Amino acid sequence: MRLELRKIPITNIEFGNETKVDGATLLIDREELIKKLKEVPNVKEIKIDLARPGEKIRIIPVKDVIEPRFKVEGPAGFAGVTSDVAQLGNGVVNVLDGAAIVTIGDIVGFQEGIIDMWGEGAKWTPFSKTNNIVVDISVIDGLTPHEHEETCRLVGLKASELVGLAAREMISENIEIFDMGDNVEETSKYPDLPKVVYVEMLISQGLLHASYIYGVDSAHILPNLIAPNEELDGAVISGNCVAACDKITTYQHQNNAVIKELYKLHGKEINFLGVVLVPEMTTLNGKFISCDYTAKLCKMLGADGVIVSEEGYGNPDSDLVMICSRLEKQGIKTVLITDECSGWDGMSQPLTDIAKEAVAVISTGNVSHVVELEKADIVLGDPNAVSNIAGGWAGAYNPEDGTMKCELNAVIGATSEIGTHNCTVELY
């Protein structure tokens, strides 16, 4: 597979008479974009605003973040979701690098998280550094919770495609190339390099706790092997709306930092065999099946080492250490990437489960760490939503002075378990 990501640098966004790139500025035709997005079934109303790095803007509650792209060569769109099912991972993609679609609006139940574009809050989210097209979605009355969530998810993906059209004719000299043959080819080229598999755990626990692979809810599949290029090309999208700090947004799947880092080492220090996507199940039997199957796949691939990243915390901690135990007992060296739920004082047990085989653990931070957020000049969305966000509580927002207090839990990407953040990590 060969995938080219051609980066079109975007350092500013403005509204304009058409959606296009002018130098390094992305112009957005707001009325035309709203018109197109209202064609998505079950949409009642759409509002669009812009949020640039450094502006005193708070975005809440955020559902998802998606990178706008245009497929120059190869299957268009998010195959199996916004376009026909097709094999992703090959082709040429023009990427509006530095721009992002951010979807907001009421969903159901817990609402998701916060992006501050300035100040203390900006330190904790990677999306304070992107130029954000904020899409506020209202749906028609009478939808079921699942229909409501699906509508909002589709609007975000559609918005990324429509804005991505601005990159259609652009030329870039900044090109990332991801080129890898099958396992037989790569192993014949690098017979003496250790073989490494990346195991990526995905939230797969029902409404607002879902991930999709080629449009299929990951809760309905066994762990499966994909080529790294497929995920970078949009094969995996987010439907998870709880625990914003370690939610893997669609943007983060499109730019999976673990995959990109392993690619850099491929052919030099390791032989990167591929990605095993693992559903995080809710039942004990489901966890046994999923973890056993994951260990079997890695063994059959001939892995010498495995990196496992988690999504979420709590009961998925059990899946994490169960996978580790099974791999280590088969002689496969295993490194875990997880965050910790250690309490406000950092003194609580960080994971809900432990295993003696888990000897190499990378921590991406404490989800319970409390941050104080200053008053925003502009709030896109509803600041009162913090009371329903994981990591927030009733009274976390002070309407008298506009300040807010919350755990990192509530901040999108604050403790990302695939590395898309700026927290310090330790190996111990």
Contact 59, 380 (CB under 8 A): yes
Query: How big is the chain by its Cα radius of gyration, in Å?
Result: 21
Which one from 241, 245, 324, 406 is the annotated catalytic residue? 241
Pairing of strands 99-104, 57-66: antiparallel
Q: Cα–chain-centroid distance for residue 68?
A: 14
Q: 66: how many CB neighbours lie within 10 A of its CB?
A: 30
Closest to 408 (Cα-Cα) out of 395, 394, 428, 422? 422
Closest to 91 (Cα-Cα) out of 203, 191, 232, 210? 232
Based on the residue annotation, tell me whether 291 is a catalytic residue of this protein: no
Distance CA 336, CA 394 (A): 34
Q: 350: how many CB neighbours lie within 10 A of its CB?
A: 20
What residues are annotated to the active site? Answer: 241
